[in-house]
Amino acid sequence: MLFKNYQTDNFYDEMFDEQLRPRPGAEAVVNRFSELPLEELKRRQHAAEKALLQMGITFSVYGDEQGTERIFPFDIVPRIIPHNEWVEIEEGLKQRIRALNLFIDDIYHDQKILKDGVIPAELVLSAGAFRKECIGLNPPGGIWCHITGTDLVRGADGKFYVLEDNLRCPSGVSYVLQNRAVMKRSFPHAFDAARVNPVVDYPNRLLGLLQSLAPMRHRKPRVAVWTPGVYNSAYFEHSYLAQQMGVELVEGRDLAVVDDTVMMRTTTGLKPVDVLYRRIDDDFIDPEVFRSDSMLGVPGLMRAYRAGHVALANAPGTGVADDKAIYAYVPQMIRYYLGQDAILNNVETFLCRREQDLQHVLANLDKLVVKKVGESGGYGMLVGIHATPAERAEFAEQIKATPHDYIAQPTLSLSRVPTLIDDHFEGRHVDLRPYVLYGEEIYVTPGGLTRVALKKGSLVVNSSQGGGSKDTWVVEACSLPEGGSPC
Amino acid sequence: MLSRVAESIYWMYRYTERAENIARILDSNYHMILDLPTGFGEQWEPLVVTTGDEVLFEKLYGSYSQENVVQFLTFDRNNPNSILSCLRTARENARSVREWISSEMWQQLNTFYLMVKDASGSGGNIELPHEFYVEIMMNCHLFAGLAGNTMSHGIAWEFGRLGQMLERADKTARIVDVKYFILLPSVEYIGTPYDHILWGSILRSASAFEMYRKQYGQIVPDQIIEFLLLDNQFPRAIHHCLIMAELSLRNISGTMRGRFTNRAEKFLGQLLADLDYTTVEDIKALGLHQYIDSLQTRLNKASEVVFETFFSIPEEATSVTQDQVQS
């Protein structure tokens, strides 16, 4: 009974309530995992890791000449979300992506929201991810951001908060699919008993979405996933998605623009491409328009895009809406464009560019998480509560030097999930990244990627900082009848 | 299909085939040595000559000891044609075309590479060479079998087979050439049991011993040359390899036999036609070494023409082609 000495330590635990009773929907999983002896659990954990290694779901350790490769650590205890709770998250995500798309379209056209003073114009127009080259562009259906991976966290109050909208090239969905495949193999009985909502049709939905963007309707659209190449850390995902969708995986050097049409170089000559699912930042896609030193891009791509000869998913320019400072205004966007209150909460955010906020941040560095606006992946950030006074002082100097570059948020008490550590379960902090596809309708993967900070007490879930992942199960919850057996 | 993808599949097969050949010549050499009288002298240099990497070897090691040659050909990362390097290159190519090949092929190549990489970690000491090299050969065969049985036999597969067959033809040519050269000074052994051991080892180097026996019976040098060069059914015979390579080319373009639509088809078709009508007497009249030399030149040229016809990317971008090592 590996849960015997389990403690929630006053954190919100996704599996157990304060009295250590399984939460609704978690009963079946708790029962099944309790039945298995430690040796068996460890054996299955090991088998799961071996399967991931053999499938080559690995990342390279940089600077290691022996070519060492590691798997993204995987924990076998699933994170459970009851269906009734999920429905609300799903609605909230749909609402949010609608508003964000209206915002992007507005920013690259009339900029009404700036003229009406809802968001300071200077904040948007000076943002690093604002692309003036995109002004006046009209992506199909007016939708700019087709594929989103929103980062959510659950706080001590049990509520979900949006931490970040990733509107450029969010990665990780392949781990959702692979983790699920491994869990179905490793724990078929627990899986069966829990009645888990499937995620397996994601590639099919993604393909449908991409095909629907094709500018030429008279022929079967040629879709391709565009990768920076095999040395990119998300390369596995690019190739996996291409394989699962049955489409080409291309690199910049496979493409050429001829007469404002994007072509790929094949063994039988140049062939037109209709839709590119680009997994490369918009800075790099076309050296004629954006960064001229890009070796990964295709000269002339934006000409073809403007001429309406090729569709790009996501459209260039979407990054303006996931800027860490502009994020603070998403609730206002939802009210402005949709006339609604935000269903999902934002995390309270202090913009150091505002004098009042700056003073508050400097006075409370030990309680706040400070982030650099242009960074991601857990870099350029200070978790005040875990930092030494010297580190805080050094960071304070950086903030004072360039306050525009920093935002701060309260240290969230992230929820935890039991995780197999050595020979027992311990709570570890998690976040959640559901994936949203926005085409003719909006689809949200049931669940998403649960990232877990494997270091004890750590709040940083990024894989580059010692994070791992778990499978996420959205389950049909049923209340436990008095004295009855769990469903 | 994309030129880059076609090229990666071609090299993935070629390098896997190359790894298998190196494992086989190492294994057959170990066997031959055990059967020879002590003092005959261990022959390890010819193995390096067979792979064509003498210059690199001499720079890295100097002397042709068993230990050096085995390390160089099996685990040396500085040798692009060591078994480990071949498998790493094959796997890197496979990684870049995962959406084209089957998951089974990828997993086999990945697991296989990790196995050999782990073996290289233990100082490269191979306790039981036969067991180790057989495992490598069987893993290569498993890859080829999975490729044949899990991937559609479309154009991608044909590019793979083309690479495999060109590589195999080249390796058989080298094995025969080098071995024959070594055997020349051993006239004194003619008629002794060692004669059979030495000539038999040529056949074993091409895993051709049993098939040869069935067809010819006695070990006769001329017939061995005929079998390894001109047989049209034995899978490692050069003639057979070129028949299959030419078939792949025609399947790629959809051209019937008797016509050609690109330079690769023309070049390989001419080479094949020559082999169709060559006899072992013709070869001897020219001299075996001279014949193989000219055959190899044409095989190298065939690889170049294939590259120019299908893989070299039109327009600018010549600087970004992969750094592949041709033997």
Cα Rg for chain B, rounded, in angstroms? Answer: 20
- Antiparallel, parallel or unpaired: β A269-272 and A261-266: antiparallel
Q: Are A24 and A17 in contact (CB under 8 A)?
A: no
pLDDT-derived band at B235, boundaries 50, 70, 90: very high
Residues of A in contact with B9 (CB under 8 A): none
Of A402, A330, A336, the C-alpha closest to A370 is A402
Above 50 in pLDDT, residue B248? yes
> What number is the average pLDDT over the span B101-125?
88
Chain A residues 205-234 within an 8 A CB cutoff of chain B: 229-230
Dig out the tokens for B232 from the structure: 């049209």
When scoring B1, B2, B82, B93 by the number of chain A Cβ atoms within 10 A, the one with the most, hence best to mutate, is B2
Share of chain B above pLDDT 70, in %: 89
Checking if the pLDDT of B112 tops 80, the result is: yes
> What are the structural domain ranges in chain B?
1-151, 184-312
Distance of CA A448 to the CA centre of its chain: 9
Name the least confident of A58-72, A158-172, A463-477, B77-91: A58-72
Closest-approach residue (CA) in chain B for A241? B99
To probe the interface with B, which of A222, A247, A265, A273 has the most B CB atoms within 10 Å?
A: A265
3-state secondary structure chain A: CCCCCCCCCCCCECCECCCCCECCCCHHHHHHHHHCCHHHHHHHHHHHHHHHHHCCCEEECCCCCCCCEEECCEEEEEEEEEHHHHHHHHHHHHHHHHHHHHHHHHHCCCCHHHHCCCCCHHHHHCCCCCCHHHCCCCCHHHCCCCEEEEEEEECCCCCEEEEEEECCCCCCHHHHHHHHHHHHHHCHHHHHHHCECCCCCHHHHHHHHHHHCCCCCCCCCCEEEECCCCCCCCHHHHHHHHHHHCCEEECHHHEEEECCEEEEEECCEEEECCEEEECCCHHHCCCCCCCCCCCCCCCCHHHHHHCCCCEEECCCCHHHHHCCCHHHHHHHHHHHHHCCCCCCEECCCEECCCHHHHHHHHHCCCCEEEEECCCCCCCCEEEHHHCCHHHHHHHHHHHHHCHHHEEEEECCCCCEEEEEECCEEEEEEEEEECEEEECCCEEECCCCEEEEECCCCCCCCCHHHCEEEEEEEEECCCCCCCCCCCC
How many Cα atoms within 13 Å fall on the side-chain side of residue B240? Answer: 14
A vs B, Cβ pairs < 8 A, gives 69
Q: Give the pLDDT band of residue A50 (cuts 50, 70, 90).
A: confident
**How does pLDDT run across B33-59, given as a tens digit for each residue?**
777 776 666 688 888 988 889 999 999
- How close is the nearest chain A Cα to the Cα of B77, in Å? 9
Contact call for A250 and B110, based on CB within 8 A: no
pLDDT of residue B322: 35
Q: How far apart are CA A46 and CA B124, in angstroms?
A: 27
CB-nearest partner of B107 from A54, A251, A267: A54
- Verify whether the Cβ–Cβ distance B98 to A239 is below 8 Å: yes
A257 touches B: beta carbon within 8 Å: no
**Which among A53, A240, A248 has the least Cβ separation from residue B2?**
A248
Chain B contact for A242 (CB, 8 A cutoff): yes
Q: Do A230 and B92 touch (CB under 8 A)?
A: yes
**Structural domains present in chain A:** 348-410 (3.30.1490.270)
pLDDT at position B193: 66
pLDDT in tens, A316-350: 999 999 899 999 999 999 999 999 999 999 999 99
Give A165's pLDDT tier (boundaries 50, 70, 90): very high
Comparing C-alpha atoms, which of A357, A333, A461 is closest to residue A410? A357
Q: Say what the pLDDT of residue A218 is.
A: 67
Dihedral-angle region of residue A165 (phi above 0 means left; psi in -120 to 50 means alpha; beta otherwise): beta
What confidence tens digit (pLDDT) does each residue in A186-242 have? 899 888 888 899 999 999 999 999 999 998 776 789 999 999 988 888 888 999 999
Residue of B nearest to A264 (CA): B2
Instruction: Count other C-beta atoms under 10 Å from residue B166's C-beta.
Output: 25
CA distance B294 to chain A (A): 29
Q: How far is CA A141 from CA A209, A248, A318, B177, in A?
A: 12, 24, 15, 67
pLDDT higher than 50, residue B227:
yes
The pLDDT value recorded for residue B123 is 65
Q: B99 and A249: CB-CB below 8 Å?
A: yes
* Residue A463 pLDDT exceeds 90: no
Say yes or no to pLDDT of A414 above 90: yes
Residue A244, token pair as written in the block: 């699962």
- Sole residue written with tokens 């004669």: B195
Please indicate whether, in this complex, the C-beta atoms of A251 and B4 are within 8 angstroms of each other.
yes
CB contact under 8 A, A243 and B114: no
Q: Which residue has the higher pLDDT, B200 or A437?
A: A437
Percent of chain A with pLDDT over 70: 94
What pLDDT is recorded for position B188? 57
- Tens of pLDDT, residues B139-161: 999 999 999 999 999 999 999 99
Is residue A283 a contact partner of residue A291, using CB atoms and an 8 Å limit? yes
Residue type, position A120, single letter? P
Q: Which residue has the tokens 């080829």?
A: B144
CA distance A74 to A49: 7
Residue with structure tokens 């074993």? B204
Closest among A104, A193, A185, A195 to A148, alpha carbons compared: A104
Nearest C-alpha in A relative to B252:
A267
Residues B28/B202, Cβ–Cβ less than 8 Å: no
Residue A460 has pLDDT above 70, yes or no: yes
pLDDT in tens, B175-223: 888 877 776 655 555 556 666 777 888 888 888 989 999 999 888 888 9
Report the range out of A9-13, A61-65, B97-101, B199-203 with the highest average pLDDT. A9-13
* Parallel/antiparallel/unpaired status of strands A442-444 and A435-438: antiparallel
Chain B residues touching residue A229 (CB < 8 angstroms)? 96
Q: What pLDDT does residue B96 have?
A: 86
The residues on B that touch A, with CB distances below 8 Å, are 1-6, 88, 92, 95-96, 98-100, 103, 106-107, 110-111, 114, 117, 155, 159, 252, 310-311, 313-315, 317, 320
Nearest chain A Cα to B111, which residue? Answer: A54
Min Cα–Cα distance to chain B from A270, Å: 9
Which residues in chain B are contacts of A246 at CB distance < 8 A?
99
Chain B residue with the nearest C-alpha to that of A222: B1
How far away is chain B from the Cα of A269, in angstroms, using its nearest Cα?
Answer: 8
